[in-house]
């Protein structure tokens, strides 16, 4: 805080002077600190005397800095001048003021009298509003209830083109201004509603002045004083240009966003205007097209023909025909051309609206191809209504069933396939019952049926596709006979099992399989028996028993061991990816297929394919898998080339496939194809002699991998491992060992470290 001793000599004079000044006054020293202030300055700035004294003038006036203050402070009294600016109040609010600084010595020490004058804000706002009104074509008015008259601003008078002396008009005269093209009774009612209900309103009105129509928006706002409305204030804004621009923008937007190609063509064939779609479709810029003519883009006309065409168009006014035009790069674009003759501002034009029919022609071609495909399909295709009446049949149906199309249209599907239940199509066709179709000559043919319900134009149709499965039935009979022979072969293998056990040193022939128990040696004996053949093997067993190890052993002991064993987990992939993974796909066959991919079957050619969790394979793929196994051929997804493969198949599952077959979740014919040589991989609890050798193996490998050497394994740890039943089998044993190694201290494994859920 600055001491006030420098002011003591002049104190009475200064206090009297301060009270007589109606402007703010600050006394500031050379460093810019405030030494004293009058009441007006404190009130203006929002400070008390104590808080203002000692503050810097730079905190009050942000336009000052130390350099400008030194210049201001050093000027002579006759050099002082006023400056308009904004200063800060104690609440960080800006106030517009004029300031004036005069240097004055007090007791021989230089000080500055800093005067602060408030600006007349009404005058300032009036100038600002006038500027805004002029720039935005806004006029203002007010209505006085007592005089029932309207006061109009100069801008209002200017907008409506009224005489300059009509600043004050009666209410009737005010509404007469708009009576020529508007319902003034509606405007009056709206105005009366403002006064009565004390609500504002706005209305768009038209105004005709100097042969030109203008559009305005009229606003009204009531001034409320208790229950009375002494005044109504309003504005009028000229929106003519906005309305005109908006209509023009709508027209331009419509022309340039239509799918049609629009040309304005002059009598000589040159182009006067083209829309954006023309440029986009024909790959020209507008500038390029406006230098060209009809003969550059169409082969329909030459100059002589165009003259004849123009005369015909003038007579007909409208001509429509199918033609084609050429893009910049020579691409042929088929179009339907709609030509219209008009006169515009004394000039003749042909407005040509051309619609690109490339997609229509493609669609027509697809429809033709679809009909050809239906007629040439080997399947019998019927479209029936919901009651089973036949509405369409393909040519193959008519040829093979010895019926005419007209005869079939008079029949019900039940006359051909009596086993279909038309009251529940899906249930009937999706069942396991055998279906047969009756031909016109009395022949009965076994068939397979695919059914699809379709809603078309609010009508429900049933598409029934029927396939002759006579050959498949014969193959199934042959397969059944082959399975009987396989059963005899299995019995013979069982009878030779003991001999093979004695002859084969099982433990030495199987990588990564630790076995001391006789029960598991029997399993490995089966592996050795089947390894050298190409027989399909189905490995069964609980989760975690090591079914993949058995598959690997079969492959390693087979004559295919020099080739790869390719494996795939049918449960680990989404359903929509399994087909691509198994059979591969061609580039572009589906979204995301950016390049061709070879499937697992092709990768396993001359080797072995291991399908784990085969019970999870979707029904839709089971038929395709069966076809590949039976025929040794596949077609990539999206391809049409048949690829031959030589693959030995090994599958594994922990599910009961027979139950899945009985529930309709697994194809019976595929089950028989896979279950040629089943091997049951027994759980760990049935081979207890192997628990400790397996545990010791993983203690050694895991402790080395984790860098936690195990020095001591106590007997209670071994006893606990032997006593547990391991529902998770070997995988669970590995987890127990790994956890106990992590929890071990000083390299000692003890019973307490085994955490069994």
| pLDDT tens-digit map of 457-483 | 667 777 888 888 878 888 888 888 888
Interval 605-623 mean pLDDT = 89
Interval 324-337 mean pLDDT = 88
pLDDT number for residue 124: 56
Q: Which CATH superfamily is domain 5-119 in?
A: PAS domain (3.30.450.20)
Q: Which of 538, 543, 534, 466 is nearest to 732 (CA)?
A: 543
Q: Which CATH superfamily is domain 123-243 in?
A: PAS domain (3.30.450.20)
Decide if domain 688-753 falls under CATH 3.40.640.10: no
- Topology adopted by domain 513-681: Rossmann fold (3.40.50)
In terms of pLDDT, which residue wins out, 503 or 650? 650
pTM: 0.37
In order, the DSSP letters of 298-321 are -SS--HHHHHHHHHHHHHHSEEEE
- Tokens describing residue 520: 């598991």
Q: In what order do the strands lie in the sheet with 34-37?
A: 34-37, 24-28, 109-118, 94-106, 83-88
Contacts of 421 (CB under 8 A, 6+ apart): 427, 428
Instruction: Assign 15 a pLDDT band (cuts: 50, 70, 90).
Output: low
pLDDT number for residue 396: 76
Half-sphere exposure of 685 (CA within 13 A, CB side): 10
Return the SS3 of 8: coil
pLDDT of residue 111 exceeding 50, the answer is: yes
pLDDT of residue 675 exceeding 80, the answer is: yes
Q: Which CATH superfamily is domain 363-468 in?
A: PAS domain (3.30.450.20)
Distance CA(567)–CA(650), nearest Å, equals: 9
pLDDT number for residue 302: 86
Q: What are the residue boundaries of the structural domains of the chain, listed by start?
A: 5-119, 123-243, 258-356, 363-468, 513-681, 688-753
| Tokens 């025929």, residue located | 631
Instruction: Please report, to the nearest 10 degrees, the dihedral formed by the alpha carbons of residues 323, 329, 331, 336 taken in order.
Output: -30
In order, the DSSP letters of 649-702 are EEEEESS-HHHHHHTTSS-HHHHHHHTTEEEEE--GGG-GGGHHHHHHHHHHHH
Rg (CA), the chain: 49
Please report which helix (H) or strand (E) contains residue 388, including its range.
none
Q: Which CATH superfamily is domain 258-356 in?
A: PAS domain (3.30.450.20)
Q: Which of 37, 46, 59, 190 is nearest to 115 (CA)?
A: 37
Interval 239-268 mean pLDDT = 74
Distance CA(219)–CA(127), nearest Å, equals: 22
Question: Which letter does DSSP use for residue 613 in this model?
Answer: S
Q: Which of 36, 46, 2, 39 is nearest to 24 (CA)?
A: 39
| pLDDT tens-digit map of 30-69 | 888 988 888 888 888 888 767 888 888 888 888 788 888 8
- The answer to whether 648 and 608 have CB atoms below 8 angstroms apart is yes
Q: In the chain, what percentage of residues exceed pLDDT 70?
A: 84
Instruction: Assign 118 a pLDDT band (cuts: 50, 70, 90).
Output: confident
688-753 shares the fold of 258-356: no
Distance CA(105)–CA(39), nearest Å, equals: 22
Interval 510-525 mean pLDDT = 82
pLDDT of residue 9 exceeding 50, the answer is: no
pLDDT number for residue 54: 85
């Amino acid at each position: 805080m600055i001491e006030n001793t420098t002011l003591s000599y002049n104190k009475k004079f200064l206090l009297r002077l301060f009270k007589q000044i109606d402007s703010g006054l600050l006394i500031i020293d050379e460093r810019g600190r405030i030494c004293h202030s009058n009441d007006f300055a404190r009130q203006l700035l929002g400070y008390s005397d104590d808080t203002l004294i000692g503050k810097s003038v730079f905190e009050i006036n942000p336009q000052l800095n130390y350099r400008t203050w030194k210049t201001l402070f050093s000027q002579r009294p006759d050099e002082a001048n006023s400056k308009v600016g904004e200063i800060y109040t104690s609440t960080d609010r800006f106030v517009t003021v004029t300031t004036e600084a005069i240097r004055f010595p007090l007791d021989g020490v230089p000080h500055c009298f800093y005067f602060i004058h408030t600006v007349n804000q009404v005058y300032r706002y009036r100038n600002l509003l006038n500027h805004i009104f002029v720039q935005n074509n806004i006029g203002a008015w007010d209505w006085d209830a007592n005089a029932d008259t309207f006061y109009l601003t100069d801008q209002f008078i200017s907008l409506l083109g009224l005489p300059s002396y009509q600043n004050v008009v009666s209410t009737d005269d005010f509404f007469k201004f708009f009576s020529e093209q508007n319902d003034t009774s509606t405007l009056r009612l709206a105005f009366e509603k403002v006064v009565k209900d004390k609500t504002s309103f706005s209305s768009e009105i038209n105004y005709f002045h100097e042969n030109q129509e203008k559009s305005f928006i009229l606003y009204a706002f009531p001034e409320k004083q208790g229950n009375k409305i002494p005044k109504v204030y309003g504005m009028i804004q000229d929106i003519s240009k906005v309305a005109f621009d908006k209509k023009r923008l709508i027209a331009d937007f419509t022309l340039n966003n239509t799918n049609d190609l629009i040309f304005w063509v002059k009598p000589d064939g040159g182009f006067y205007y083209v829309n954006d779609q023309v440029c986009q479709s024909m790959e020209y810029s507008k500038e390029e097209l406006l230098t060209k003519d009809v003969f550059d883009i169409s082969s329909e006309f030459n100059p002589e023909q165009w003259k004849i065409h123009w005369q015909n168009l003038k007579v007909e006014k409208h001509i429509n025909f199918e033609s084609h035009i050429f893009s910049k790069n020579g691409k042929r674009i088929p179009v339907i051309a709609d030509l219209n003759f008009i006169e515009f501002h004394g000039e003749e034009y042909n407005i040509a609206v051309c619609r690109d029919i490339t997609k229509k022609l493609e669609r027509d071609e697809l429809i033709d191809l679809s009909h050809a495909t239906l007629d040439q399909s080997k399947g019998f295709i019927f479209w029936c209504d919901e009651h089973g009446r036949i509405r369409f049949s393909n040519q193959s149906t008519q040829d093979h069933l010895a019926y005419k199309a007209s005869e079939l249209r008079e029949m019900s599907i039940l006359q051909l396939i009596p086993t279909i239940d038309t009251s529940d199509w899906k249930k009937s066709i999706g069942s396991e019952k055998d279906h047969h179709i009756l031909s016109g000559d009395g022949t009965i043919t076994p068939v397979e049926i695919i059914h699809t319900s379709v809603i078309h134009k609010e009508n429900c149709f049933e598409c029934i596709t029927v396939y002759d499965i006579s050959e498949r039935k014969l193959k199934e009979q042959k397969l059944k006979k082959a399975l009987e022979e396989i059963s005899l072969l299995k019995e013979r293998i069982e009878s030779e099992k003991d001999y093979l056990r004695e002859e084969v040193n099982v433990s030495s022939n199987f990588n990564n399989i630790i076995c001391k128990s006789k029960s598991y040696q029997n399993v490995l004996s089966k592996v050795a028996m089947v390894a050298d053949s190409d027989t399909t093997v189905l490995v069964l067993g609980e989760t975690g028993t090591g079914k993949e190890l058995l598959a690997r052993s079969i492959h390693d002991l087979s004559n295919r061991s020099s080739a790869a064993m390719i494996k795939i987990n049918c449960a680990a992939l989404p359903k929509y990816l399994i087909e691509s993974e198994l059979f591969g796909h061609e580039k572009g066959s589906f979204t995301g297929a950016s390049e061709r991919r070879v499937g697992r079957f092709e990768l396993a050619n001359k080797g072995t394919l291991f399908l784990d969790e085969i019970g999870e394979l979707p029904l839709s793929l089971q038929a395709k898998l069966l076809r590949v196994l039976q025929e040794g051929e596949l077609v990539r997804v999206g391809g049409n080339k048949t690829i031959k493969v030589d693959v030995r198949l090994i599958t594994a599952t922990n599910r009961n496939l027979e139950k899945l077959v009985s529930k309709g979740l697994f194809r019976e014919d595929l089950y028989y194809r896979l279950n040629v040589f089943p091997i049951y991989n027994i759980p760990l609890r049935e081979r207890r002699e192997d628990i400790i050798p397996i545990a010791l193996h993983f203690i050694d490998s895991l402790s080395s991998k984790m860098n936690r050497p195990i020095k001591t394994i106590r007997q209670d740890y071994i006893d606990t491992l032997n006593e547990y039943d391991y529902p998770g089998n070997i995988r669970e044993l590995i987890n127990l060992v790994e956890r106990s190694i992590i929890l071990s201290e000083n390299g000692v494994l003890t019973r307490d470290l085994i955490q069994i859920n």
